[in-house]
Amino acid sequence: MELVSKLAALLPNWQVPPGNTSQTTIKHHECLKDIIEVLVFLKNEGARKDETIKMLENRCTALEAQVQQLANKTQTGPSGGFSYSEAVMGKKHVVNESEVVLLATVAREAKQRESIERNIIISGLPESAEADETKRNHDERKVVEELLAVLKVEKEKIKRVKRIRNNGNVERTANAALAKPNIVLVELDSSATQSIAISNTRKLRNDDRFKHVFVNKDRTHSERVFEKKLREKRNALNNELEHTEEVHGRQRKFGTENGRRYFWDIRNGAVVRVFVKQN
Q: What is the pLDDT along the chain (279 residues), one digit of tens a residue?
A: 577 677 667 666 667 777 777 878 777 777 777 787 777 777 777 777 777 777 777 777 777 777 767 666 654 444 455 555 555 445 555 556 666 666 666 667 777 777 788 999 999 999 988 888 899 999 999 999 999 999 999 999 999 999 987 754 444 444 554 568 899 999 999 989 999 999 999 899 889 999 899 999 988 888 888 888 988 999 999 999 988 887 656 678 899 888 888 999 988 778 898 888 765
Strands 243-247 and 250-257: antiparallel
* Residue 98: predicted pLDDT: 65
Cα–Cα distance for residue pair 171/133, rounded to 1 Å: 9
Q: Name the pTM for this structure.
A: 0.54
Q: Write down the pLDDT at residue 169.
A: 47
Q: What is the pLDDT of residue 279?
A: 59
The Cα–Cα gap between 142 and 161 comes to 10
pLDDT at 162: 92
Q: What's the pLDDT at 12?
A: 66
| Distance, CA of 117 to CA of 227 (rounded, Å) | 17
CA–centroid distance for 196 within its chain: 13
- pLDDT at position 110 is 73
At 133 the pLDDT is: 87
Q: Are 137 and 186 in contact (CB under 8 A)?
A: no
Angstrom CA distances, 168 to 43, 149, 171, stand at 41, 30, 9
* pLDDT attached to residue 173: 46
Q: Look at residue 139 in the predicted model and tell me its pLDDT.
A: 92
Q: Are 144 and 185 in contact (CB under 8 A)?
A: no
Domains by residue range for the chain, with CATH: 1-115 (no CATH), 120-218 (3.30.70), 223-275 (no CATH)
Q: Measure the CA–CA gap between 194 and 15, rounded to whole angstroms.
A: 29
